[in-house]
Structure 1
Amino acid sequence: MDQVSIKEASQFIKEKLSKTPTLGLILGSGLGVLGEEIENKTFISYKDIPHFPESTVSGHKGQLVIGTLEGKQVIAMQGRFHFYEGYSMQQVTFPVRVMKQLGIESIIVTNAAGGINESFEPGDLMIITDHINNMGTNPLIGPNDDELGARFPDMSKVYDPEYIQFAKNCANEIGITVREGVYVGNTGPVYETPAEVRMLRTVGGDAVGMSTVPEVTVAGHAGLRVLGISCISNMAAGILDQPLTHQEVIETTEKVREDFLRFVKKIISDLPNS
């Protein structure tokens, strides 16, 4: 998406705000509940924002929620866009560009993911330490605008090491056990086959999903600090002898709602540089 589109969308949002947000939140399947915790809320439907796609997935409300959370000015996406919905990678990541234009410095990206690591259990929260792009494409393919970011951005520490350690400390402080691991991004919309899960485990994946990698790639390109959190909503194919369903994803995220809220709110309250 070009700078004109980014500026038009951000200007539309900015006109509805009294304060500038410094922290962005992308809330995945079943995790939009965090948006309900925001105070002094302004709601903006995606369909009203110039150049924004619309979310079509169950469990995604399809709106921005902007206001105060734990003393920080935040802008939260209740529902994200996915490559499998038919959107281009540039459309999927457009909100990250707009958040950057609005002035955010850091972004917390959440998702529901299937557990590849056999020591994980449904309901675990995993801090993302790295990712594997298994989507066969990249949102930075095409002409590069140097004002948005470097042509060849470094992704070696795209998940901010200080934020990772900080999140682990937060979990310890509130008595929540969290996992750490590598997130694999697949295109979807099908769940993985057992053979694919075995392959992803072999190459170092701990959890797998259909999002996050594009947004984090663009966030890194834009110079934003990133923290990623996965809710392990189910075990990936072949680990348990049961079919995978989106309903199971939503049900599991509902069960861990309290821990998820406590964890992320604790992070936000003390997050450095946000």
Structure 2
Amino acid sequence: MIKMRQEKRNEMYMYLFILPGILGFLFFWLIPIVYTFVLSTFKTNGMNNIFVGIENYIKLFGDKEYRKAIFNTVYMVILGVPINMLAALILAMLLNTKIKALGLFRTIFYIPTILPGVATAVSMFFIFNTRYGLLNRVLSLVGIEGIDWLGEPGMAKLTFIIIGAWGVGQTMIIFLMGLQGISETYFEAAYVDGANSFQRFWSVTLPMLTPTILYNFILQCIAQMQIFTPAYVITNGGPDQATYFYVYKLYRDAFQFGKFGYASAQSVVLFIVTLILTFLVMKSSNSWVHYEGGE
């Protein structure tokens, strides 16, 4: 009897401890998601609600700005994700070596990740500004002048990819953890077999790092699909809508034009696309992700 009471008491304590997490998920995740689905079936400005069914979703097919936002976002995913991951992996491998002040270098490369997004965007504006930006001033010292980083559509996208690579500290740390989790035994065996540095990277490091690559790839895809702050702070969607991204379009429709139902429909589409993309990537992982100890 005493043992049963103790077990019930422990069970009650367990539920009490997990209650904040459950409430947080319920009120800050599940309810807002369900409400967004419901709101997407209404034409509303926050005051007047008119049920329209799937009309908001149908309107998306004829919205030129929406198609432009999709194109720009897909462009950033296709180019930005591999560039950011490659930069993060290179940094992680460099910071996985035994050098002096290693902790300091790791901190320096991670700091941009924890800086406020608006502060970073403002700083990048003053770096890449065409007329008085720091980067163009430095380049002028070696005879390169007049690069319009933010005023030319194609260059603006490239600039945003560079800005994204500035904040790969979190991805770098995850890669670093993955590298440190690879047993030295594999490298020693490859060295004994006569493998050079590139062969050890290709045949040992890369396969053993595939679970980490999978995780970072999903996170990077989601991050690129949700680019907003630089577009809002630096270019306001320009030039010529070159940085008019999906979430920026969603924000304008919701908070500048008061089309909350229409913006909610866009949110639902983004949510579904993210789920499908994550599912497909996870499904494909069976053919290329290697887990230590697996078959």
Q: TM-score, normalised by structure 1?
A: 0.30
Higher helix share: 2
Higher strand share: 1
Considering only CA atoms, is the larger Rg found in Structure 1 or Structure 2?
Answer: 2
Report 1 or 2 for greater relative contact order, CA contacts < 8 Å, sequence distance ≥ 6. Answer: 2
Q: TM-score, normalised by structure 2?
A: 0.28
